[in-house]
């Protein structure tokens, strides 16, 4: 019996469905885990540069982000608030935390102060937070890589 000579190897089809499914699941995972919050960072606040600034070691517990602008106003939840009025907002934060059985002293207040803001304004902001029962503070700055 004579064999018929073929033009090449037999054609094989690869099922790409599992690969496409896995890619879609990864994209979905990354979209849901990304933080698109603009309340954490605002372009109106230019952080000071410091060689001592280090990245955070881990996520903050119950973070409250306050951004002090150069004119003395505080950006809270994306809206500028006067330094004198921030106490009312912090009182609301305190009430919410107590209503869910958490102590304000466990919350971390992240202070992002503009490099042109005065030291007195930063101290006043921290004092107001302390009066409301907040005890943990993190000051943000940009790391200076000029060394």
* Spatial separation of the C-alpha atoms in residues 64 and 136, rounded to whole Å: 10
Is residue 99 a part of any domain in this protein? Answer: yes
Is residue 97 a part of any domain in this protein? Answer: yes
* Residue count of the chain: 147
* Spatial separation of the C-alpha atoms in residues 57 and 42, rounded to whole Å: 22
Is residue 18 a part of any domain in this protein? Answer: no
Is residue 66 a part of any domain in this protein? Answer: yes
Is residue 60 a part of any domain in this protein? Answer: yes
Residue pair 67/37 in contact (Cβ under 8 Å)? The answer is no
pLDDT per residue rounded down to tens, the chain (147 residues)? 555 666 666 777 888 899 999 999 999 888 877 765 545 666 666 666 655 555 555 555 568 889 888 898 998 888 899 988 999 999 998 998 899 888 888 888 988 888 888 889 989 999 999 999 998 888 876 655 655
Domain count, the chain: 1
CATH label of the domain that carries residue 127: 3.30.420.270
Structure tokens at 25: 């699941």
Is residue 35 a part of any domain in this protein? Answer: no
Is residue 86 a part of any domain in this protein? Answer: yes
Is residue 43 a part of any domain in this protein? Answer: no
**What is the pTM (predicted TM-score) of this model?**
0.60
Domain that holds residue 92: 49-143
DSSP 115-145: TTS-HHHHHHHHHHHHHTT--EEEE--EE--
């Amino acid at each position: 019996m004579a064999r018929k000579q073929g033009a090449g190897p037999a054609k094989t089809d690869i099922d790409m469905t599992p690969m496409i499914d896995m890619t879609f699941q990864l994209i979905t995972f990354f979209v849901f885990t990304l933080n698109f919050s603009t309340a954490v960072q605002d372009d109106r606040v230019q952080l000071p540069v410091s060689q001592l600034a280090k990245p955070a070691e881990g996520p903050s517990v119950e973070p409250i982000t306050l951004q002090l602008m150069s004119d003395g106003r505080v950006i809270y939840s994306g809206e500028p608030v006067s330094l004198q009025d921030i106490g009312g907002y912090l009182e609301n934060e305190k009430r919410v935390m107590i209503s869910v059985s958490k102590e304000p002293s466990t919350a971390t207040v992240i202070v992002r102060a503009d490099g042109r803001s005065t030291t007195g304004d930063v101290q006043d902001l921290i004092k107001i937070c302390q009066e409301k029962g907040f005890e943990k503070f993190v000051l943000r700055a940009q790391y200076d890589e000029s060394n």
